[in-house]
């Protein structure tokens, strides 16, 4: 089943374009962080400020949205194209099909995280080498890279769970994008709802790829990981119990 899901993932070339998008988005984010470090009003004292390195490296979380879209497409494509029926006839235990999708898209998310992370590190090295600053990949920088990369991979769980639950590809993607780019930012920016943000998926992701000095109100890194994993587990369980037992159209 896992091999079959890998084939379905690789056969349409959309994964390539989404990977390019993930890299581009992450590189743009780190470039903006480093590029504006010298501007008045910046929280940093220039590009040689040691605090800027973990913040710049956390830009690899820009890959999150592309992993979500990829995993939603993977979870909904069979419903959209009418191939779910033969799949479930071949493997009547639908839970195994869902498990295979989860494995494949979490691994795909990890691949996106690694490629985006390498790109972010490369850009950071180029920017900071120009001002004679050495980039360290140990200590807090390594913790940020590992935490942010894990968060990107875990969003594969959320994408598959949401896709199987909703089934409608366009609706699931639009809903996810509205949540990520509209709803969560609003919740975070409004003083009365801001304390809730750290308990949301975005807050958990940010905790995993953040430094305490710039995110004192977020959860600890490991707590963010547990929370994000819990969101994925709950969403997947809901999809398994509510949707996999319904008739396949």
pLDDT digits (tens, 9 = 90+) for 103-141: 999 999 999 999 999 999 999 999 999 888 899 899 889
Q: Could you tell me if residue 103 is inside a domain?
A: yes
Confidence at residue 245, expressed as pLDDT on a 0 to 100 scale: 65
- Answer yes or no: is 49 within a domain: yes
Place of tokens 């009365």: 192
Residue 214 has pLDDT above 70, yes or no: no
Alpha helices (H) along the chain: 2-10, 14-35, 52-57, 64-81, 84-90, 94-129, 139-166, 169-178, 184-189, 194-197, 201-208, 221-242
Confidence band (pLDDT; 50, 70, 90) for 216?
Answer: low
Q: What is the DSSP letter of 172?
A: H
Residue 228 lies in a domain: yes
Residue with tokens 């963010």: 224
Residue 218 pLDDT > 60, yes or no?
Answer: yes
- Read off the pTM: 0.89
How far apart CA 237 and CA 82 sit, in angstroms, is 23
**147, 225 contact by CB (below 8 A):** yes
Residue 204 forms part of a structural domain = yes
Mean pLDDT for the chain overall: 88
Mean pLDDT across 191-217: 85
- Tell which wins on pLDDT, 90 or 208: 208
Domain containing 219: what range? 2-242
Long-range contact list for 26-31, CB < 8 A, 24+ apart?
A: 26/59, 26/60, 26/61, 26/62, 26/63, 26/116, 26/119, 26/120, 27/59, 27/119, 27/120, 27/123, 28/62, 29/59, 29/62, 30/56, 30/57, 30/59, 30/120, 30/123, 30/124, 30/127, 31/123, 31/127
Let me know if residue 102 belongs to a domain: yes
Q: Is the pLDDT of residue 80 over 60?
A: no
- How confident is the model over 135-188, as pLDDT tens digits? 989 988 999 999 999 999 999 999 999 999 988 999 999 999 999 999 999 999
In a domain, 179, yes or no: yes
Q: How many structural domains comprise the chain?
A: 1
| pLDDT at residue 89, as a whole number | 44
- Report CA-CA distances (Å) from 207 to 98, 184, 226: 28, 14, 11
The gap from C-alpha 22 to its chain's centroid, in whole angstroms, comes to 10
Residue position matching structure tokens 């590029």: 35
Residue 201 falls inside a structural domain: yes
Check if the beta carbon of residue 60 is closer than 8 Å to that of residue 117: yes
Q: Kindly state whether residue 248 falls inside one of the protein's structural domains.
A: no
| Cα 28 to the center of its chain, rounded Å | 16
């Amino acid at each position: 089943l896992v091999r079959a899901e890998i084939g379905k993932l690789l056969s349409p070339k959309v994964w390539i374009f989404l990977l390019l998008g993930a890299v581009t988005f992450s590189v743009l984010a780190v470039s903006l962080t480093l590029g504006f470090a010298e501007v008045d009003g910046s929280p940093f004292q220039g590009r040689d400020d040691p605090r800027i390195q973990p913040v710049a490296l956390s830009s690899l979380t820009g890959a999150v949205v592309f992993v979500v879209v990829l995993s939603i497409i993977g979870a909904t494509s069979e419903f959209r194209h009418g191939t779910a029926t033969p799949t479930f006839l071949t493997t009547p235990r639908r839970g195994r099909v869902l498990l295979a999708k989860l494995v494949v898209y979490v691994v795909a998310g990890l691949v996106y995280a690694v490629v985006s992370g390498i790109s972010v590190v490369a850009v950071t090295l180029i920017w900071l080498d120009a001002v004679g600053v050495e980039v360290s990949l140990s200590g807090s920088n390594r913790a940020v890279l590992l935490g942010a990369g894990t968060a990107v991979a875990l969003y594969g769980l959320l994408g598959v769970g949401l896709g199987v639950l909703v089934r409608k590809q366009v609706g699931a993607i639009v809903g996810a994008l509205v949540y990520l780019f509209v709803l969560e930012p609003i919740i975070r920016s409004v003083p009365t709802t801001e304390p809730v943000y750290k308990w949301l998926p975005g807050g958990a992701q940010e905790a995993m790829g953040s430094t305490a000095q710039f995110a004192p109100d977020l959860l600890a890194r490991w707590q963010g990981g547990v929370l994000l994993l819990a969101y994925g587990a709950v969403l997947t369980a809901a999809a398994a119990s509510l949707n996999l037992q319904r008739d396949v159209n």
